[in-house]
Amino acid sequence: MAASQTPTSPQSAPLVPREPFLTKRRAFSIVGLIIFLGFFAIPIYQTILLEMVGDTGQLMQQIVIGLTKGTYIAVIALGYTLVYGILELINFAHGDLFMIGAFLSLIFISLFGLDPKTSSGLTIFFSLIAILGLVMLCTAFLNAGIERFAYRPLRNAPRLAPLISAIGMSFVLQNVGIFLGDGLIWGKAADALGSDALERVSTAMGSQSVAPKNIPDLLPNGQVFFIPDSLKYTYKDLLVVVVSLGLLAGLYSFVRFTKLGKAIRATAQDRDAARLMGINADRTISVTFLIGGALGGAAGMIVGLYNGTALFTMGFTAGLLSFTAAVLGGIGNILGSALGGLLIGLILALSDQYIGARWSNAVIFAILVLILLFRPTGLLGQEGGQKA
Amino acid sequence: MPNTKRYLITGGIGFAVGTFFLWNYPNLALGSAIIGGLVIAALCLLYSAPLPDMVKGGLIAGLFGAVMTIVYGPDKPGVAIIAGMLSGLGAGLLAFQRKPQATPQAGAALGAGAGAIAGAWTALALFLTAFVIAPAAGVDASEFAEHLSETVILADAMGLASDILILLFVLVFCTITGALLGAAAGAARALPLRPNIPLLAVIALPVILIPLIDRAGNLLLLDALIPIYIFILLALGLNIVVGYAGLLDLGYAAFFAIGAYTTAMLSSPHLGINISFWLVIWVAAAVAAIAGLALGAPTLPLRGDYLAIVTLGFGEIVPILFRNLGGGPPTGTLTLRFFGLPIGIEQMDLTGGNKGINPISPPNLPLIGNFEPSNKIPWYYLLIIIMGLAIFFINRLRDSRQGRAWMAMREDELAADAMGINVVRTKLLAFSMGAMFSGFGGAFYGAFIGAIFPSSFDFSVSIILLCMVILGGLGNMAGVIVGGLLIQGADKMFIPKGAELFRDIADQRALTTGGSTVGVSALQDLTQQRLLLFGIVLVVMMLIRPEGLLPNERRKAELHSDDDPININSVAAEADADPSLAA
């Protein structure tokens, strides 16, 4: 092999010549970007940065809000990253699974009859833990079922086929959300079975199936005792952060230290080689979808309780946010997703405050485009590990 | 295995349609089950049944004519004439598969048979409507007779006195026109011409006649047909990007929006600029094409699903821009400072915010004057001309050097690059050409509707367009048109009209049995629920027929590569036999 290489060069030349830095393509994108950035840089400095520095108390508050949001965005982003890592598929339906999680938690809360006014704190606490488990179980199996039905038959199809199938699934799930949110259907079921619990679900959903649903405010609302009063930080925020971080840590250690986690990593690295080593790739992928689904459901419940509402389109927006987070951190990388989630949360909170909530989605997408252009592998992704 | 797929498709579509109706009309459970399960199952079984092509084509095309007749029938029985024509034409096209040795006579015979079956099927549906469905929907016999004489052209002229005679006349007329058009289509298909001008003429005939029949019978079909055609035009543009160049674009509605907003801003009192439509439509197309370049340039290094996500982002950002650049609330608007100058970009009110821009000036022609919203005929013909030109140009573009470069790039970007294709230029041209056609579509849409809102261009529009392209067949224009007619026909005609009919039946039933009426509320969730249908269409199509209903031949071969896997052993044996390979 080496003998056939250019004999004139004394030292061994690399097999593939490095492409020059300034290819035509890159030049195109860089010029475009400079124009794009230049357009925004001056006003951003003159308006937003000055305003930020002007009121540090406000800034701190926004940072805290951003980090809190960031933790749950990270949990959703993990679902994307797991699936992308193992199948190289953008699981478009994951955001909607998250929405189903929020709806299921509202259903279970109503079934259990939890009410912030009448139920005791201890009941709420234990019921919520039970509900979290139930929601995670449901969404986990839902996700694995979707994989079995809509993605597995397309394992060897061209790459776009499973993506399109996932987009279709996303619409189907949104309609499942509408269906679950139809109080009239629950009312009919309640009448047929004579069940009070179902009647409560029907009341909680209301008669408008597409309207936003109110989730009772079950989390404690007091200020956390060790935080000064100037910074609003309630137990609710703390709880969201703790549960999210717990899930992140649990997942990280699962993938890092268990045998099944090892199988997941091996399958992600090279499915065929993993198969040759005796790993059941299909089962491993199913397990990945189970875990991803459970995380999505948990995130849905957390967000639902935190924001107090559930809407059937919430999955689309949240899904885009978290997908951006996953890409930002380096898709396929668990710690990267956590980092990306926190960053996106921060950006979101700052943009909401200083630019205007109506622009936030545009800001997030602009960031996504910038990342993909300059560092398609994300902040913590390995070079060459992904096909961008 | 093929059977499993057949059951899957039947089950999937049946489930979707059944759910749709059951959900909206729970007190019509039986009817819903019949619609959802049996009709669709019948269609699928027909498709795979061992019947001669003639009968199969006639029955399948006739089913659509029949559905159209039934959903419009109680109010506008005259629709049956158009339905019979169209289904006859469709049957003729379906029944006759082009073979080298086929003669026009054989084509005509087959087409005539199929067209007659389709026409008769439609006529039967009208009969059913007259005696079963119309009474069930609360249209009694005298009322129906009135509708019949109002909407059936020639009924007066022929002096048909009794209503039953008019009905019989429509029955015969449907069958005969169906047979004639089917025969013409079959004969034309058999001609070994390329381009096949007679075939195009046969297809164009009913398309051109529809407005006249519509006007004569006051059917108001054009209200639905024009948006359907606009969407088909958009889908043809998307087909360039996705089908030819293989770049999955999930934000195509953005270009549509850009075209429409350009038109709106340049020819409406909103900004005080009023340029003639005939100029603006070119400006809109150019602006959309430039926007295509602007999207294409930064995404050049991206491939596959990353590209999809960036285009999706673009598709989200553009409506946000249009929503926020104007009509903002007086407080808390975004004020940027540029070199110390405050720029209230939301106060400039470029786009009217959520309220959109209204009114937009219509086109104007010397003889016709302003195109009026009440008279759809000039609009229709203008759109037909735009579409005809678009189809012609896209067709030429596909066969040009550029088109072959797109397909080469779709197959293998690296190999195309190595063969000397300028990938940068090819990609950018794909984006901007695709965008240009949606610029035309957007400009026409803006002028036609006369008002635009940011909500008309959201993600679901991009998805519906993608659905049309995929259902019909990626990369095949005829397929895209058929897919567009099916999906948009369902979206704008069959589902809303069918839902209305079902509501009437439910209300009528409630009146006679004393139950509760369904009321208007049942119709409100329609927008979202039709997305369920499209979602299922996407999944099922990917699982069963990823190449679409009318596939592009090359694409089909590509997608079914796993059906005949390369035999590794034979390749190895060849390598052994050939010493030059072994070295």
Of B168, B186, B220, the residue that ends a domain is B220
Judgement on whether residues B276 and B372 belong to the same structural domain of the protein = yes
| Residue B469 included in any domain | no
Q: B357 by DSSP, 3-state: which?
A: strand
Judgement on whether residues B154 and B278 belong to the same structural domain of the protein = no
Closest CB to B300: pick one of A29, A42, A387: A29
Interchain pair A372, B338: CB under 8 A: no
| Residue B473 included in any domain | no
CB contacts of A362 in chain B (<8 Å) are 316-317, 320-321, 324
CB contacts of B328 in chain A (<8 Å) are 358
Please calculate the CA angle A330-A335-A337 and round it to the nearest 5 degrees: 50
Tell me which chain B residue has its CA closest to the CA of residue A28. Answer: B297
Judgement on whether residues B180 and B212 belong to the same structural domain of the protein = yes
CB contacts of A88 in chain B (<8 Å) are 305
Interchain pair B294, A387: CB under 8 A: no
- Give CA–CA dist B224/B498, Å, rounded: 14
- How many residue contacts between A and B have a Cβ separation below 8 Å? 175
Non-local (6+) Cβ contacts of A97 within 8 A are A79, A139, A142, A143, A146, A173, A293, A296, A297, A300, A315
Confidence tier at B337 by pLDDT (50, 70, 90): low
Judgement on whether residues B392 and B342 belong to the same structural domain of the protein = yes
| Residue B65 included in any domain | yes
Structural domain of B451: 231-464
CB contacts of B353 in chain A (<8 Å) are none
Q: What is the pLDDT along chain A (388 residues), one digit of tens a residue?
A: 344 444 444 444 445 555 566 677 777 777 877 776 766 666 666 667 777 777 788 888 889 999 999 999 999 999 998 998 888 888 889 999 999 999 999 999 998 888 877 778 888 888 899 999 999 999 999 999 999 888 988 887 777 788 889 989 998 899 888 888 888 778 888 888 888 888 888 888 887 777 888 888 888 887 877 777 778 888 888 889 999 999 999 999 998 899 999 999 899 888 889 999 999 989 999 999 999 999 999 999 999 999 888 988 888 888 888 888 988 888 888 888 899 999 999 989 988 887 777 788 888 888 887 777 777 777 776 654 433 3
The whole-number pLDDT of residue A235 equals 85
CATH 2.60.120 correct for A58-373: no
CB contacts of B320 in chain A (<8 Å) are 358-359, 361-362
* Of the candidates B493, B479, B580, the residue with the CA atom closest to the CA atom of residue B227: B493
Token reading at A2: 């080496």
Question: What's the average model confidence in pLDDT over B552-564?
Answer: 58
Sign of CA dihedral B82, B85, B90, B91: positive
Confidence tier at B581 by pLDDT (50, 70, 90): very low
* Overall number of domains in chain B: 2
Q: What is the 3-state secondary structure (H, E, C) of B90-125?
A: HHHHHHCCCCCCCCHHHHHHHHHHHHHHHHHHHHHH
Binding-face residues of B in 44-103 toward A, CB within 8 A: none
Q: B524 by DSSP, 3-state: which?
A: coil
Q: Considering only A272-276, B392-396, B542-546, B559-563, which range has the smallest mean pLDDT?
A: B559-563
Asked if B257 reaches chain A (Cβ–Cβ under 8 Å), the answer is: no
Of B464, B488, B508, the residue that ends a domain is B464
Strand segments, DSSP code E, in B22-106 are: none
Interchain pair A29, B301: CB under 8 A: yes
The whole-number pLDDT of residue B567 equals 41
Interchain pair A365, B316: CB under 8 A: yes
Residue A158: cis peptide before it, omega within 30 degrees of 0: no
| Residue B338 included in any domain | yes
Of B436, B464, B492, the residue that ends a domain is B464
Token reading at A224: 């956390």
Interchain pair B298, A169: CB under 8 A: no
CB contacts of A358 in chain B (<8 Å) are 320, 323-324, 328
Where along chain A do its domains lie?
A: 58-373
For B119, B184, B203, the CA distances from B87, given in Å and listed in that order, are 7, 13, 12
Q: For strand B341-344 and strand B335-338, is the pairing parallel, antiparallel, or unpaired?
A: antiparallel
Q: Helix, strand, coil shares of chain A as percentages rounded to 5? A: 75, 0, 25
DSSP H helix total and E strand total for chain A: 15, 2
Judgement on whether residues B205 and B321 belong to the same structural domain of the protein = no
DSSP characters for B204-240? HHHHHHHHHHHHHHT---HHHHHHHHHHHHHHHHHII
pLDDT exceeds 90 at position B256: yes
Binding-face residues of B in 332-371 toward A, CB within 8 A: 332-340, 343
Question: What φ, ψ does residue A214 adopt, rounded to 5°?
Answer: -90, 130
Sign of CA dihedral B323, B324, B329, B332: positive
Question: What's the average model confidence in pLDDT over B487-506?
Answer: 79
Judgement on whether residues B240 and B335 belong to the same structural domain of the protein = yes
| Residue B10 included in any domain | no
Which of A16, A26, A175, A328 should one mutate to test binding to chain B, selecting the residue with the greatest count of B CBs within 10 A? A175
The CB-side HSE value for A293 (13 A sphere, CA atoms) comes to: 23
Q: At what angle do helices A94-112 and A56-87 cross, to 10 degrees?
A: 110
Judgement on whether residues B240 and B204 belong to the same structural domain of the protein = no
| Residue B39 included in any domain | no
Closest CB to A175: pick one of B316, B333, B529: B529
Count of beta carbons in the 10 Å neighbourhood of residue B290: 15
Tell me which range, B28-42, B153-167, B198-212, B333-347, is most confidently predicted by mean pLDDT.
B198-212
The whole-number pLDDT of residue B532 equals 78
